[in-house]
Amino acid sequence: MNDHTTTTASVPGPRTPELPPPPERVRAVPADGDLGGQITQGYWETFEGEASRTGLVTIARRLPAIVVQVWGTAWRADARAAVLVAVLQLVSAAMVSAGLIASLGILQKVFAGGATGERIRAALPALAVVAVLLMLRGLVDAGISHWQARLGPRVRQQLEADFLALTSRIELAAVDDPTWADEVRRANDRGLYYAKESVNKTIELASAVLALLGAAGVLGVLHPVLLVLLLAAVVPKGAASVHSIRAGYLSAVRQSTLRRRMLQFSWVLFERDTAPELRASNAQQALLDEHRALSARITDEEVALGEHQSRAALLGRALGGLGMFATYAALAWMLGAGWMPLATGGAAYLAIQASQSALLRLVIAGHQVFEHALWVEDLKRFEESCRARLPRTGAPAPAAVKEIEVRDVHFTYPQGKQALRGVSLTLEAGRRYAFVGANGSGKSTLSRILAGLYEPTEGTVRWDGTDVRRFDAASLTGRVALVLQDPGHWPLSALANITIGSGNITTADPDRVMRAVRATGADRVIADLDHQWDTVLSPQFEGGAELSDGNWSKIACARALNDDDAPLLVMDEPTASMDPLAEDRLFRAVLDEYAGPDTITVLVSHRLAPAVACDQVLVFDQGRIVEAGSHRELIALGGTYAEMFETQAAAYRSNR
């Protein structure tokens, strides 16, 4: 036996500090002002800094890369629709410009000298061009709607698929990180939506630019001064819009933590999990008050933002109105002074109208693309950070293992809690191990490290001498059959709830499944369901069912045992909710039937009866293994294990 797993004397862990009595006044959530700081300071500061550094020039510089990214997604989603939408939008914009030029031709003919009939006849060809263009544009616009209707949903599907494929694979430690929790919500709620919308918005922007170039070109030819004056009319409005977008964006980022906290209060008020206890403890009012307090802070922020935006819009409009007044005044003055013939004046009026509407479209589209670009950037930054936290790739983990060596393993959670402080042990095939010890002593953490869900912060885990970091992470977890302390309640059929343990919800090996459900007692649970194997284990589906906690545990254990090729079986408190007979039956099945000569079996349990049957018991205390040996050896040692065992045994005896 390895010297790390022989009987050891108790090692004292770090001292737990004294707990002072609680204050009379309870704080259910961090005090006012702490929310933004304590919970999210890290990401908030970085992000806010980033947003405030993002000026118009930077955005304009980044825009091409974003457009390429967005259109790359559109291309992957539906290449034909993407090309057609883009081309048709551009054709439509070109038609608007051509229509304007033809309209000018009509005006010039109508205002020229000669008899009215002749003038009308002279204008007829241009009129015909306008009519044909209008008709064709109607057709082109119908084509755009048709292809956009195909493209939009497919882009959404592609974006969601990319996003979920990435976020569902990211290493588990990242999911524990509260910064990630904020970012993933923001990316899901905003980033995906805006990324999808930005496909259309970039087209609108391009078509507005073309329309403006056409109209402004005409205006510039008629009189360049008009062009300058027109700019003075539109720039203030545009600046006000951009300012409002920036303020809205920064406000949304500021509120994201607050909103998440408020949503948590909404959920506990109406979700099923908390519904019984909410009513039993009459906690509704207390939680409603907390919700109201958080909601009031969001309301204040929204009101302040709305007021700020409307002030900016008012200023933009006032200045823009002055600019527009100056443009028309200049036109009138030119006509009055005889600088411009009436026909050209009419054309100029048309061109001003067209330029104004194109400029307005440009401002709105630019406004939206700018807003969308910030969120798309945010989404892309988030996806990039996820890519950096994807589990490692490498050689496939071996199908069999004779010895797993854990050497001086330390582990600290992202929240800063040190859960393991130098754990060493050797696990051998064909042997059964029991992890026991106080709550919070690190048993589950080590189980998850053994299962490949976490990587040690320090130290190594070796499979037959090979550091597991050389193995592909997914292939390693695939070699471990695992029952978690808090197993997933999958809203899937009973059968899929069992086969999902090996990553599969479409096929089953009937003999293997039957053996697993018999071993755990899940056979009787499933037999009792209305649609047996096909019953969806969620009451939120019609015909679905809810199981008791103990019965859920039987399903979770069957899920792990169905994966009986796995050389490592880890069961973390599998029987915590089971009745004594079910527990006894499960442990017998695991230890006698499943813990074969090629399997390393690890049981984590507070009930010590199965520890007696294990080959080795490892006692955890404050992140360390303080005792290791067989049941007999540890009883003889008279340490923590002996005390725990005697206390439990005495409790059972005294109850007889």
Ligand X SMILES: Nc1ncnc2c1ncn2[C@@H]1O[C@H](COP(=O)(O)OP(=O)(O)OP(=O)(O)O)[C@@H](O)[C@H]1O
**End-to-end Cα spacing for the chain:** 39
Q: How far, CA to CA in Å, does 325 sit from each of 227, 232, 240, 596?
A: 14, 10, 19, 90
Interface stretch with ligand X, choices 26-34, 233-241, 437-445, 509-517 (CB under 6 A): 437-445
Closest to 191 measured CA to CA, from 385, 388, 371? 371
**Residue partners of 213: CB distance under 8 A and separation at least 6:** 97
CB 648 → ligand X: shortest distance, Å? Answer: 14
Q: Which of 207, 244, 327, 445 binds ligand X (CB under 6 A)?
A: 445
Whether residue 315 contacts residue 261, with contact meaning beta carbons closer than 8 Å, is answered with no
Estimate the share of the chain in helix, then strand, then coil, as percent rounded to the nearest 5. Answer: 65, 10, 25
Site for ligand X contains 626 (CB under 6 A): no
Site for ligand X contains 624 (CB under 6 A): no
Site size for ligand X (CB under 6 A): 15
- Edge-to-edge strand order for the sheet containing 480-483? 480-483, 568-572, 600-604, 432-437, 616-621, 624-629
Whether residue 553 contacts residue 607, with contact meaning beta carbons closer than 8 Å, is answered with no
CB 576 → ligand X: shortest distance, Å? Answer: 9
CB 38 → ligand X: shortest distance, Å? Answer: 16
Closest to 179 measured CA to CA, from 351, 291, 44? 44
Interface stretch with ligand X, choices 28-36, 133-141, 433-441, 534-542 (CB under 6 A): 433-441
Site for ligand X contains 419 (CB under 6 A): yes
| Cβ distance to ligand X smaller for residue 188 or 485 | 485
Site for ligand X contains 176 (CB under 6 A): yes
| Cβ distance to ligand X smaller for residue 256 or 441 | 441
Q: Which of 190, 443, 515, 585 binds ligand X (CB under 6 A)?
A: 443
| Cβ distance to ligand X smaller for residue 12 or 113 | 12
Site string for ligand X, 128-167 (x = CB under 6 A): ----------------------------------------
CB 260 → ligand X: shortest distance, Å? Answer: 17
Torsion angles phi and psi, residue 456, rounded to 5: -60, 145
Report the sign of the C-alpha dihedral through residues 113, 118, 120, 123, in that order.
Answer: negative
| Cβ distance to ligand X smaller for residue 320 or 437 | 437
Site for ligand X contains 444 (CB under 6 A): yes
Site for ligand X contains 193 (CB under 6 A): no
| Cβ distance to ligand X smaller for residue 419 or 468 | 419
| Cβ distance to ligand X smaller for residue 174 or 401 | 174
CB 172 → ligand X: shortest distance, Å? Answer: 8
| Cβ distance to ligand X smaller for residue 411 or 490 | 411
Residue with tokens 């080590």: 446
Q: Which of 442, 478, 567, 610 binds ligand X (CB under 6 A)?
A: 442
Q: Which of 279, 417, 470, 588 binds ligand X (CB under 6 A)?
A: 417
**362-365 contact pairs (CB < 8 A, 24+):** 362/205, 362/208, 362/209, 362/212, 362/238, 363/234, 363/237, 363/238, 363/241, 364/208, 364/241, 365/201, 365/204, 365/205, 365/208
**Residue partners of 317: CB distance under 8 A and separation at least 6:** 236, 237, 240
Site string for ligand X, 205-244 (x = CB under 6 A): ----------------------------------------
Q: Which residues pair with 448 in a beta bridge?
A: none
Site for ligand X contains 13 (CB under 6 A): no
Of 459-518, binders to ligand X (CB under 6 A) are: 485
CB 414 → ligand X: shortest distance, Å? Answer: 7
Site string for ligand X, 319-358 (x = CB under 6 A): ----------------------------------------
Interface stretch with ligand X, choices 7-15, 389-397, 439-447, 639-647 (CB under 6 A): 439-447
| Cβ distance to ligand X smaller for residue 204 or 572 | 572
Inter-helix orientation angle 342-388/79-111, to 10°: 170
Site for ligand X contains 441 (CB under 6 A): yes
Q: Which residues pair with 410 in a beta bridge?
A: 421, 458
Whether residue 407 contacts residue 418, with contact meaning beta carbons closer than 8 Å, is answered with no
Which residues are at the interface with ligand X (CB under 6 A)?
A: 176, 413, 415, 417, 419, 437, 439-445, 485, 620
